Chain A
């Protein structure tokens, strides 16, 4: 049996179980994550995040349990993934910034990817406790995406100021770049105005990041739900099947987009290239 056949069979099984796991009826996925307990701040997406953390810990333990200089098996795969992402970010941000920030970008990428793929597993959104689904895609909750985006926003300020200094940071936003003498002063009002626009842009970034990821993941899950509801339950997996492929792609692309955008924002504020050239 070829690998392709196994993959197709797996996806068919996934769709089947997903369809039959819907417990007798399709419903629209609510926009907000539901609390699992009245007095505790635990929602069904938080349990999903915990599950993701547990899986990540298990994978890391397996991958790094018996590390050897000549890697094999899971260690080889883990090293390949980490090294590829590190190399990719290094090409984008440079060696210095990547070394400083990889712990964050690596975590963001792997967490979003794990969380997105976990959201596609049958049972997520269908296994309930007291009528409330106990699991919900981690990134299909605006609280999770906002938590990542706003954490990044704070770290962005920290990295920007530690790399440029307060004066350099303000100059980076407001001062004209690449011009000298009369032109510098002439363009100053324009650049101050542009600087204010930049501040608005900086303020909007975490909101945009949050809603972009949330929208894509929630939209994908909602699409699968709605497509399953289009046909009788016995064949409800069929219309959703092609979209599982798409969701696998979307899960990866969204993890990459979020990480890339964050990396670019850091690169833009910490990049001294233009200043060095103009001096």
Chain B
């Protein structure tokens, strides 16, 4: 390049000679500039524009996707913690309910047992009372029957018609002996 400049300085017509040698032509130069701008226009309009727009769109989509992913991950973490807390609370409630149920069941069982015992005791007492009453009634009947038999026997043996007072006395004496 320096040689070219030196040559140009040495010979005033060197630039003209240079242009002639290499075919540097004003009209062609301008035409090629126009062509070059045509290339720029074509590439910018049909290639770089749409492609860069698509790349930008894809980049934006990836960024949005990443953001969405982060949001989803955050939501998932929150959901997991909420679920874990809910499960823990449910477990706690379940344990409490089970314990309460157990306690309730035990109390109920105890109550029912007590009721059963009480009822059994009442039944026993009633049965005992009934038995006693029966025994009393049977004993009374037996005594009466016995007295009647004794009085009848005595009447038949003695051949004497007994008065009520006699019958009562004989009954009392007989019963006093049987009772002893």
Contacts and interface: CB of A to CB of B under 8 A. Distances in A.
A64 B32 contact: no
Contact of B44 (A31, A52, A107, A214): A107
Interface of A: 30-33, 35, 41-43, 45-46, 49-50, 52-53, 56-57, 59-61, 63-64, 67, 69, 71, 75, 78-79, 82-83, 86, 102-104, 106-107, 110-111, 141-144, 146-148, 150-151, 204, 207-208, 211, 214
B1 A204 contact: yes
A108 to B, nearest CB: 8
Contact of B28 (A41, A64, A110): A41
Contacts of A69: 54, 57-58, 61
Contact of B33 (A67, A83, A151, A204): A151
Contacts, number: 135
Contact of A214 (B22, B27, B28): B22
Interface string B30-49: 11110111111011101110
Contacts of B22: 31-32, 142, 214
Chain B interface bracket (under 10, 10 to 19, 20 to 34, 35 or more): 35 or more
Main secondary structure of the interface of A (DSSP, over half): helix
A61 B46 contact: yes
Contacts of B48: 82, 102-103, 106-107
B24 interface: yes
Nearest to A69: B58
B55 A147 contact: no
Given A69-B61, A78-B51, A106-B48, A141 B23 contact: yes
A79 B33 CA distance: 27
A64 B22 CA distance: 39
Contact of A46 (B24, B28, B57): B28
Nearest to B37: A151
Nearest to A70: B58
Given A43-B31, A141-B23, 17 more contacts: A33-B23, A41-B28, A41-B30, A46-B31, A53-B39, A69-B58, A69-B61, A102-B52, A104-B40, A106-B48, A107-B43, A142-B22, A144-B32, A144-B35, A147-B36, A151-B36, A207-B4
B1 A79 contact: no
A144 B28 CA distance: 8
B104 interface: no
A99 B35 CA distance: 24
A64 B43 contact: no
Contact of B39 (A49, A208, A214): A49
A214 B4 CA distance: 15
Contacts of B108: none
A229 to B, nearest CB: 22
A169 to B, nearest CB: 24
A63 B51 contact: yes
Contacts of A64: 46-47, 50-51
B21 interface: yes
6 closest cross-chain pairs (CB), A and B = A32-B23, A41-B27, A60-B46, A147-B32, A143-B28, A64-B50
B52 A143 contact: no
Contact of B24 (A53, A79, A146): A146
B35 A49 contact: yes
Nearest to A57: B42
B25 interface: yes
Nearest to A109: B43
Contacts of A79: 51, 54-55
Given A67-B54, A69-B54, A151-B33, A143 B43 contact: no
